[in-house]
Structure 1
Amino acid sequence: MEERDDYKFLKLRDAISCLNQRVNLVGVVLELGLPKKSKGTDFFISLKIVDESYSDPGISVNFFAESVEKLPVVASPGDIILLSHVVMKTHEREVYAFFNKKFSSFALYEGISGGDFIPYQVSARFRTRELDKKFIADLRKWLTGFQLNTDPNNFQFLREIKEGQRLSLICKILHIREGAEKEWIIFVWDGTDAPSKKIQTKMTDEMDNPLPLQLEKEPLPRDILCTFPSVGSVLTVVLGEGNKNLGLGFLKTGMWLNFLNIICEVHAGLWRGVLMPFTKLRYVPKEDRCVLGCQRCYEERLSEKWGRMPWSCFPSPSTVTEVEHDHVPLVTLRDILTYPEEMFFDGRPSTCVLKRRMNKLLGLNEDDDSKGTEYTDRDPPWVFCCLKSYYLNESDVWGSRRYRIFDTKLVG
């Protein structure tokens, strides 16, 4: 006897009224949760999908499976998923689709950039059919003109981040590093400057343990740093303890993402973002007005005389230093990495003058008498200085590269 064909896909707008019924859906993956262990023995992930009938807010789909490998592994937000025999349910007035591992099935396809109709991942019970191609082609066509509701009031720029709060950031992924034991490190940017933070430390401790220039254990190689934009803070993002050993293979360099409910921390005066179990990652098209605005702002900063100056030091840097080459264009340290001695203390000042100048440069109060043995709040200033680049070994030009401050005086 021939099996009954119930291959009928509902629009998401129609599916929300089919509570407790099995339905078939096809949609674009707008938002990804991070895979995690459920309260039982299964693993869990939640996706949010949209289509032309229900692009805001979309429908969540909750998956449970015996292992992470059996969950949908979305290659990129914006890809397309076909779902068969999922059950529509409701929780606290929110309608969602429930993927039952006993009878539901799924298939994942590339999104707008896809050139074929072959799924890159299917579940055990999924059956491909010729009509799949039409649904996928229609969604890809719709995606070309799709615009997210990226209201500036609903997210923050890096210049607005605050410590310990849940934030919504739209950023570009500049680089991804996978360390030992799935210690993923993501470097993100939006063209703005994160606020500077005071440093609380003992000066005596810094003699043996100087403050880090970066939070990651191994510095990035120069060829990677040269691909970074020269202006704007680069935020290091790591996995929180609850997400250790869960991969982030769907993230790719160059994509823009909305990090929903990310937490930002400060370590040794440096900002770090943390992906928590409740963090979600939302697809943002490169043509989105927010993305275009970030890129336009970056280009404007590059074209302006003072555009490379950090926003937190406006209207001007401190007067701790003065340079003799004020006609030379202002650049950033990241600029210097891509391009191939004056007495800093202006002669031999007295011990009292030298101490006062050093304290000012280190961000200490002039009346600080702790001699660096007590914890104090330090707020080092932004300063102008001239740098000279040179190398020690002709056969290792960049490995032996050094930088020296010149034609710059510490004053005040």
Structure 2
Amino acid sequence: MEEAAARERKRPREGDAAPSAAAAAGAGKAQYVYLPVADALKAPGARVFLFAAVSEIGAAVRSRGTDFTLTLRVADQSRPAGISVTFFADNVALLPCVKASGDVISLHNVVITMHGEFFVTFNKKFSSFALFEGKVSTECSPYQTSTKYYGTQYDNELLTQMRTWLAYNPPGLKDLELQLRSLKSDTTFDLVCKVLHVYENNGEWIFYVWDGTDTPAAEFQAILDAEAVESSPLHLEGVPLPREVLCTMPCVGTVLRVFTNRYIKEVFHLQKNIYWARFCNITCKQEFGIWKGILGPSSRVRLLSHEDGSVVDRMNRIANQVHRQPMASLPGASNIADVEYEAAGYTTLMESLTHEQVTHKFKTLVRVVAAYPCRASELRLLLTGSYCLRLTLEDPTARIHAYVHKDDGAKFFGGFLTAEALIKKMNKLLGIPEEDEEGTPLTRNPPWIWCCVKSYRLDKNDPWGSRRYRIFGTEIRD
């Protein structure tokens, strides 16, 4: 009976710490067993010690009680897929503030919990942590520690090992991580981007995201039906953005709209227009030639620090792309249009939309993605001054409607032309190729053209609401 009682006293109980690696004989310092994550999962209910890399950073939110909570995902060599760690604290300042995914965290006296799946619980009463930079350096001191944390003499060695592993296995990088410039329809991928704005309407959320690159230029169905060519919306959301929001948008690169019908808990943080994030497992498709992101049931959003390696990489690239021409237009625009102001600088459509004055003259590089009217009979009347032509212009930053006024029609098309010649020029603008031996082409790809545009107002009492664009100083060649 006494031997059985002794064995029972030595057996670890739920909540007990894992056995130490060595006795603290003579050293006066406790020695801990840092378990690989895979081995820690074999001890549910026990207190364990982990040394791992942070692969995903969650958002700090208030729990159902009075605490604040934060979830990180950590990984090591034994479990690259990682495991979630949930922290609780009396205030946000006591939670881990991870600089970048790939940083290293030391966790003491955390508990492996099972609730549908394994995860780690950080108890504010007895657990502790320390955060270290994950990049290789000579600095081994933590940049943040909790009040109860005490390191060991083996921490530096473990940190060096973890940094070496991270150098060849950076967290979060996947084969299916894309930038906006390389989007593909109906492909599941991750996107690292800055969230510029969040909008909610009747349970549908729209995230306006940007990474400094241009989405690929779309091809359109080469349908000669007038309604199909004329109906090309300027944006996918129901109403345009308020001007005060529009003016916060960057003037270079595409702002992608990402749609979802479910609430994302990181929304509160993303609404502040300061965060970069990783959108995981999202898909994209085109509607009316505009790229649209979609968050599905398996999609997730992870906040990223400005010091995260993937964010730093993108910010460095963006810094070198000010006032660049659309990527899809390279190596150069087509030669089907002449403009009067050859020496004028280049302006994107978003630069004009956010210009401080209502009236604005500029030269831009665009595609004509739609025209109204586009029927032969109506175009012929345009040259007589009976019709006003509306073209939908597009570059990577925005779309606008720009008008060819009645008295400018003949100049824009290069003279008083026959109906046949007029249609031929309009087809060039819209990217509709001529029929070949194989029959009618299935797609059209509008060319990039230089164009002179100016804005004006219709109502002096509502200058911004009545703002319109007009094409001038531009002639379409034969």
SS of the residue 1:329 aligns to: coil
> Which residue among 60, 80, 84 is the counterpart of 1:61?
84
Equivalent residue letter for 2:329: C
Q: Relative to 1, partners in 2 of residues 1:165 and 1:62: Cα closer, same or farther, differing over 3 Å?
A: farther
Question: After superposition, where does 1:13-412 map in structure 2 within 5 Å?
Answer: 13-18=35-40, 19-23=42-46, 30=56, 49-50=73-74, 57=80, 59-61=82-84, 85-87=111-113, 97-98=118-119, 128-129=124-125, 135=129, 141-142=143-144, 149=171, 155-181=177-203, 183-200=204-221, 202-204=223-225, 206=227, 210-239=231-260, 244=262, 249-252=267-270, 253-302=273-322, 307=324, 309-339=325-355, 340=357, 343-367=411-435, 376-412=442-478
8 Å CA contact 2:276, 2:306 repeated in 1? yes
Report the aligned-residue RMSD.
Answer: 4.3
* Max Rg structure: 2
**Quick one: percent identity of the two aligned structures?**
31
Q: Which runs of 5+ in 1 are unaligned?
A: 34-45, 64-73, 100-104, 107-125
1:47 offset after TM fit, Å?
6.2
Equivalent residue letter for 2:426: M
1:13 offset after TM fit, Å?
4.6
Deviates more, 1:344-353 or 1:148-157: 148-157
Distance 1:11 1:398 in 2: 66
8 Å CA contact 2:38, 2:78 repeated in 1? no
1:136 offset after TM fit, Å?
7.2
Distance 1:167 1:217 in 2: 26
What is the match of residue 383 of structure 2?
Answer: none
Q: Relative to 1, partners in 2 of residues 1:56 and 1:288: Cα closer, same or farther, differing over 3 Å?
A: farther
1:205 offset after TM fit, Å?
5.4
Distance 2:253 2:78 in 1: 32
Distance 1:141 1:155 in 2: 29
Deviations 1:365-404 (A, max 9, x none): 22389xxxx9942212222111111112223221111111
Q: Relative to 1, partners in 2 of residues 1:208 and 1:381: Cα closer, same or farther, differing over 3 Å?
A: closer
TM-score by length of 2: 0.60
Distance 1:390 1:170 in 2: 38
8 Å CA contact 2:189, 2:282 repeated in 1? yes
Equivalent residue letter for 1:185: I
Distance 1:302 1:226 in 2: 17
Distance 1:13 1:206 in 2: 66
Equivalent residue letter for 2:245: I
Q: Relative to 1, partners in 2 of residues 1:354 and 1:7: Cα closer, same or farther, differing over 3 Å?
A: farther
Equivalent residue letter for 2:214: D
1:84 offset after TM fit, Å?
6.5
1:203 offset after TM fit, Å?
4.1
Q: Which runs of 5+ in 2 are unaligned?
A: 1-12, 19-31, 60-69, 87-94, 134-141, 146-162, 358-404
1:85 offset after TM fit, Å?
4.7
Equivalent residue letter for 1:329: G
Equivalent residue letter for 1:362: L
Q: Relative to 1, partners in 2 of residues 1:236 and 1:389: Cα closer, same or farther, differing over 3 Å?
A: same
SS of the residue 1:280 aligns to: strand
Q: Relative to 1, partners in 2 of residues 1:346 and 1:249: Cα closer, same or farther, differing over 3 Å?
A: same
Q: Relative to 1, partners in 2 of residues 1:246 and 1:295: Cα closer, same or farther, differing over 3 Å?
A: closer
8 Å CA contact 1:237, 1:274 repeated in 2? yes
8 Å CA contact 2:73, 2:85 repeated in 1? no
Distance 2:416 2:98 in 1: 60
Deviations 1:38-91 (A, max 9, x none): xxxxxxxx965238x78984632399xxxxxxxxxx9x99899999754369x9
8 Å CA contact 2:236, 2:290 repeated in 1? yes
For this pair of structures, how many residues does the alignment match?
Answer: 340
Q: Relative to 1, partners in 2 of residues 1:346 and 1:56: Cα closer, same or farther, differing over 3 Å?
A: farther
8 Å CA contact 2:414, 2:476 repeated in 1? yes
TM-score by length of 1: 0.68
SS of the residue 2:320 aligns to: helix
